[in-house]
């Protein structure tokens, strides 16, 4: 039974990812923690609570994390893609959750849950990595309780928020470098190189909407998000980036990974926030301080889409 902690900045695709975990019977969703990112922390927290309420999950503790990056300010939010409220302007249409946030912060909750867990836990960051960097800095003793990190982020062949950088890593490159390169936990990185290929079309969304109230509600959150992809990608559908990472956390191996040395650029300039993966056949002397991690670069696209649809139904 996968034991998960999801760190999230909902966010339309985060909503699909949270619902995927919340509605998968074999998943033990131990906690959800929130972080700034797509929109501000108050909105991401509000949205996380409401998506869990939509999925009937009052049992899952939610704790509030970082409101800003470790060192430098967040360059900008992603309201153009997710709407001002983070859910295409539809956040208020989701049910309110009776149970509010926990009295402790996200890092404290993650540490408490990890220390109390009898089995190792998979951490699934699907937003900026600030909370994870803080957890590992403040509570290194919990590392034996983390079996792996499954992280949505990075772009090996270019970015989505700049030409070089993907949004999650770009929001806090210092945190991304700490977690991906300096730390030594087993890590699967799920980059946009794969998540874009996993995009779902309007037919898939229509099938989701027809499955029942949860599917219909999730589909109702995609208006601004789909318009963003139509305008920016010429694609009529949506890219549920975060759900691809959660699918791997739920079903290890559903994504095909390749071990690659990666580095993260933290210098200011056109490449800040980018991930550099060394795909040369024989890596030369390591001058970049890169660390070998598992990068997800392929999957059975139809099987993955069917898996996600089946769980959200
Ligand atoms: O680049 C995609 C990532 O940025 C996803 O996590 C999406 O929610 C946004 O946060
Ligand atoms: Ca996200």
pLDDT tens, position by position, 230-261: 898 888 889 999 999 999 999 999 999 999 99
- What the block records as the tokens of 311 is 């769980």
Maximum CA extent, the chain: 56
Q: Is the CB of 159 under 6 A from ligand 1?
A: no
Average pLDDT (283-291) is 68
Q: What is the pLDDT of residue 284?
A: 58
Q: What is the pLDDT of residue 102?
A: 98
Answer whether residue 71 shows pLDDT above 70: yes
Question: Among this protein's residues, is 241 annotated catalytic?
Answer: yes
Residues 6+ apart with CB under 8 A from 127: 7, 8, 9, 11, 14, 35, 36, 37, 38, 44, 168, 171
Average pLDDT, the chain: 96
Q: What is the pLDDT of residue 289?
A: 80
Choose one of 39, 78, 175, 228 to mutate for the ligand 1 pocket test, by most ligand atoms within 8 angstroms of C-beta.
78
- DSSP alpha helix (H) spans, 63-141: 79-82, 106-116, 130-138
Q: Which fold has domain 3-312?
A: Inosine-uridine Nucleoside N-ribohydrolase; Chain A (3.90.245)
Choose one of 48, 126, 273 to mutate for the ligand 1 pocket test, by most ligand atoms within 8 angstroms of C-beta.
126
Q: Is the CB of 14 under 6 A from ligand 1?
A: yes
Q: Is the CB of 241 under 6 A from ligand 1?
A: yes
Question: How many Cβ atoms are within 10 Å of 93's Cβ, its own excluded?
Answer: 13
Please say whether the beta carbons of 95 and 53 come within 8 A.
yes
Answer whether residue 205 shows pLDDT above 80: yes
Q: What is the pLDDT of residue 306?
A: 98
Q: Give the Å distances, CA to CA, from 23 to 52, 176, 267, 279.
A: 10, 29, 41, 37
- The domains of the chain are located at 3-312
Q: What is the pLDDT of residue 146?
A: 98
Parallel, antiparallel or unpaired: strands 200-201 and 237-238: antiparallel
What whole-number distance in Å separates Cα of residue 182 and Cα of residue 227? 38
Q: What is the pLDDT of residue 189?
A: 99
Q: How confident is the model at residue 286 (pLDDT cuts 50, 70, 90)?
A: low
- Which residue would you say has higher pLDDT here, 85 or 286? 85
What's the pLDDT tens digit per position in 98-142? 999 999 999 999 999 999 999 999 999 999 999 999 999 999 999
Record the pTM.
0.97
What's the pLDDT tens digit per position in 146-170? 999 999 999 999 999 999 999 999 9
């Amino acid at each position: 039974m996968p034991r998960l902690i999801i760190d999230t900045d909902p966010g339309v695709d985060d909503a699909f990812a949270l619902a995927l975990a919340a509605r998968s019977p074999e998943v033990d969703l131990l906690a959800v923690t929130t972080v700034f990112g797509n929109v501000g922390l108050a909105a991401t927290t509000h949205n996380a609570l409401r998506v869990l309420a939509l999925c009937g999950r009052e049992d899952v503790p939610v704790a509030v994390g970082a409101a800003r990056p470790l060192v430098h300010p967040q360059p900008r939010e992603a309201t153009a893609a997710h709407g001002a409220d983070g859910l295409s302007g539809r956040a208020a249409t989701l049910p309110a959750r009776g149970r509010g946030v926990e009295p402790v912060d996200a890092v404290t909750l993650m540490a408490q849950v990890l220390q109390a867990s009898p089995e190792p836990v998979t951490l699934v960051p699907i937003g900026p990595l600030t909370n994870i960097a803080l957890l590992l800095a403040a509570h290194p003793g919990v590392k034996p309780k983390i079996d792996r990190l499954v992280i949505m982020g990075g772009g090996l062949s270019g970015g989505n928020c700049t030409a070089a950088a993907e949004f999650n890593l770009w929001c806090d490159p210092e945190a991304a470098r700490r977690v991906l390169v300096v730390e030594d936990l087993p890590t699967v990185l799920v980059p946009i190189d794969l998540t874009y290929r996993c995009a779902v079309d309007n037919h898939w969304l229509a099938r989701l909407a027809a499955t029942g109230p949860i599917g219909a509600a999730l589909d109702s959150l995609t208006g601004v998000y789909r318009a963003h992809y139509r305008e920016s990608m010429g694609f009529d559908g949506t890219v549920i980036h975060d759900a691809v990472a959660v699918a791997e956390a739920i079903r290890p191996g559903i994504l095909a990974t390749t071990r690659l040395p990666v580095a993260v650029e933290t210098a200011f300039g056109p490449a800040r926030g980018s991930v550099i993966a060394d795909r040369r056949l024989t890596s030369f002397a390591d001058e970049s301080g890169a660390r070998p991690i598992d990068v997800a670069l392929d999957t059975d696209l139809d099987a993955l889409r069917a898996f996600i649809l089946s769980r959200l139904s």
